[in-house]
Structure 1
Amino acid sequence: MTDAPDLLLDGTHAVLTPEYVEFRFTLAGLYSRFLAWLLDAVLVLTLTLALLSGLNLVMVAFPGFASALGIVLYFLMDWGYGIALETAWSGQTVGKKVMGLRVIQRSGVRIGFYHAALRNLARPVDRLPLLYMVGGLSALLSGSQQRLGDMLAGTLVVRERRLKAPSAIGVPAGEGLLADPLFVSRVKRLGTEARELVLSAVLRREELRMEARLRLFSALGAKLQELLAMEKPAHLSDEKWTLLVAAALLPDAGARAAARPPRAA
């Protein structure tokens, strides 16, 4: 009963993949974003004061210069904090992590340094005249809850989805392939984007219509054969093949491969 009001309040953003599979993201509302910002602001202020406390000698000798230095340090910490954490944590700061929020591109993929820098450098404008009134107004008027910095960077703030890994990832059919060190080692070498695509498809597959599900895993199955330089076993469907790749990405996959007895010569 609580999901419907949240969806109406926060809104959703749909992304259509090249395989015509639609993924929906729940947009973060102003209230949760404000709380995340408030926590981040307290952390930035605390870090700035801690840094200034180490400059006591300068503050005593040059009080006017110390005040100006404190303002400069605050803005540097404020910008640097957001840019650094959102780049390193794939769109999250401490405040966003606590509130279960994440910044993504409009295409649904993770943001990089360029996007984090643009949206954070625009904060002084969004804050005008105080407490993000300009940013809040633009978020209310934009249909995607975007403040000016998000519009400039092409980003969105969404709610993290708490998806439980299906049992098929942990114990899929084809355990023998998971015990193959060659298969596991090649899967472990997959790039970040390929890993995210595989895990996202597997975790959300139950939400897809059958036609879209078949198209998605058909394309994924062919792509994984290319990336792994391995042919899919004939008895496995494209979806089972992708499930095995997802299972091999889990931490215990390497242990299963290492525990496999050597083949007889």
Structure 2
Amino acid sequence: MATDTLLDGTHTVLTPEYVEFRFTLAGLYSRFLAWLLDAVIVLTVSLAVMMGLGLSMSAFPGVASALGIVVYFLVDWGYGITLETAWSGQTVGKRALSLRVIQESGVRIGFYHAALRNLARPVDRLPFFYLVGGVAALVSGSQQRLGDMLAGTIVVRERRLKVPSAINASGEEGLLADPLFVSRVKRLSTEERELVLTAALRREELRMEARLRLFAALGARLQDALAMEKPDHLSDEKWTLLVAAALLPSKAPRGAQPPRARALG
């Protein structure tokens, strides 16, 4: 992992096949703007909830104030945890700024990571305006606030990667109409799906030696995971791209006669 500049660094993930993928870290300015938008939404929802509970008209202003603080923190925590879990590391603010929270390993976060990083927000906010979190991010090599360090997460800037034409025009569209092949691809684990799609989208960034090594390992792994033999005329890379194509929400051409994939055993 290395940081190129103060505002936008890079985070490097080394796969088990010794292939590097680089992610652009989100700068503090863009993260602040995303937080500001989320804060407005949280405050608006909190006020709506308090009004719905009739706290603003309570005969006990002290109790109303205490409950208002509790409501705010519950909405704040619930907002961050729920959206980052459901939207794979994004809130409304992060989506608007094209930011995403991911694990340090480069894969998407789950409920556990979203909960940890959001529950630590009160500490990061001390004494005001995320001063503790901001200082932690500045001294951290990966621009992580305390919540990110606790959860093992980073915030990255999303790049709009186009689906390679090789996926949609592979010359083997018939295989995508094979029910056995498609059904087994759909049963791949989340980690395997993300690995296949990341490799397909970022393959042009790799040096040829690393590219061959990565797809050779992926090709063998996918044959085991799918319990299917790779057609002899397909390279490991083409085989992986076909698996990636089956994961995308696209339809196989009508009337195509699929070459049947051979199940192992």
Q: Same fold (TM over 0.5)?
A: yes
Note the C-alpha offset of 1:7.
Answer: 6.0
The answer to whether residue 123 in structure 2 is matched with residue 125 in structure 1 is yes
Structure 1 window deviating more from structure 2 (145-154 vs 183-192): it is 183-192
Residue in structure 1 matched with residue 81 of structure 2 by the alignment? 83
Note the C-alpha offset of 1:105.
Answer: 1.3
Given that 1:12 and 1:24 are in contact with CA atoms closer than 8 Å, whether structure 2 keeps it comes out as yes
Residue in structure 1 matched with residue 102 of structure 2 by the alignment? 104
Which of 151, 154, 157 matches 1:153? Answer: 151
Residue in structure 2 matched with residue 3 of structure 1 by the alignment? none
Distance 1:196 1:84 in 2: 21
Note the C-alpha offset of 1:259.
Answer: 4.4
Distance 2:102 2:180 in 1: 34
Q: After superposition, what is the alpha-carbon deviation per residue over 1:95-138, rounded to whole angstroms, capped at 9, x for unaligned?
A: 11111111111111111222211111111111111111111111
Q: Which amino acid aligns with 1:54?
A: G
* Aligned counterparts, 1:197-236, within 5 A: 197-236=195-234
Residue in structure 1 matched with residue 54 of structure 2 by the alignment? 56
| Higher share in helix | 1
Given that 2:174 and 2:258 are in contact with CA atoms closer than 8 Å, whether structure 1 keeps it comes out as no
Structure 1 window deviating more from structure 2 (56-65 vs 117-126): it is 56-65
Note the C-alpha offset of 1:252.
Answer: 2.3
Note the C-alpha offset of 1:261.
Answer: 6.2
Question: C-alpha root-mean-square deviation of aligned residues, in Å?
Answer: 1.9
Q: Which amino acid aligns with 1:25?
A: F
SS in 1 for 2:156: strand
Q: Which amino acid aligns with 2:216?
A: S
Note the C-alpha offset of 1:83.
Answer: 1.2
Residue in structure 2 matched with residue 18 of structure 1 by the alignment? 16
Residue in structure 2 matched with residue 240 of structure 1 by the alignment? 238
* Aligned counterparts, 1:181-192, within 5 A: 181-192=179-190
Given that 2:7 and 2:28 are in contact with CA atoms closer than 8 Å, whether structure 1 keeps it comes out as no
Given that 1:172 and 1:247 are in contact with CA atoms closer than 8 Å, whether structure 2 keeps it comes out as no
Q: After superposition, what is the alpha-carbon deviation per residue over 1:48-104, rounded to whole angstroms, capped at 9, x for unaligned?
A: 111111122773343332221111000111111111111121111111111111111
SS in 2 for 1:9: coil
Q: After superposition, what is the alpha-carbon deviation per residue over 1:18-42, rounded to whole angstroms, capped at 9, x for unaligned?
A: 1000000100000000000001100
Which of 27, 34, 42 matches 1:36? Answer: 34
Note the C-alpha offset of 1:181.
Answer: 2.2
Distance 1:237 1:155 in 2: 35
Note the C-alpha offset of 1:189.
Answer: 2.4
Distance 2:29 2:11 in 1: 18
Q: Cα distance 1:242–1:122, how it changes in 2: closer, same or farther (>3 A)?
A: same
SS in 2 for 1:18: coil
Q: Which amino acid aligns with 2:238?
A: K
Q: Cα distance 1:140–1:42, how it changes in 2: closer, same or farther (>3 A)?
A: same
Q: After superposition, what is the alpha-carbon deviation per residue over 1:162-214, rounded to whole angstroms, capped at 9, x for unaligned?
A: 10111111111222212322212222222222211111100100000111101
Note the C-alpha offset of 1:160.
Answer: 0.9
Paired-residue identity, %: 80
Q: Which amino acid aligns with 1:94?
A: V
TM-score (norm 2): 0.91
Given that 1:59 and 1:65 are in contact with CA atoms closer than 8 Å, whether structure 2 keeps it comes out as no
Residue in structure 2 matched with residue 143 of structure 1 by the alignment? 141
Distance 1:50 1:125 in 2: 26
Structure 1: runs of 5+ lacking an equivalent? 1-5
Distance 1:48 1:231 in 2: 55
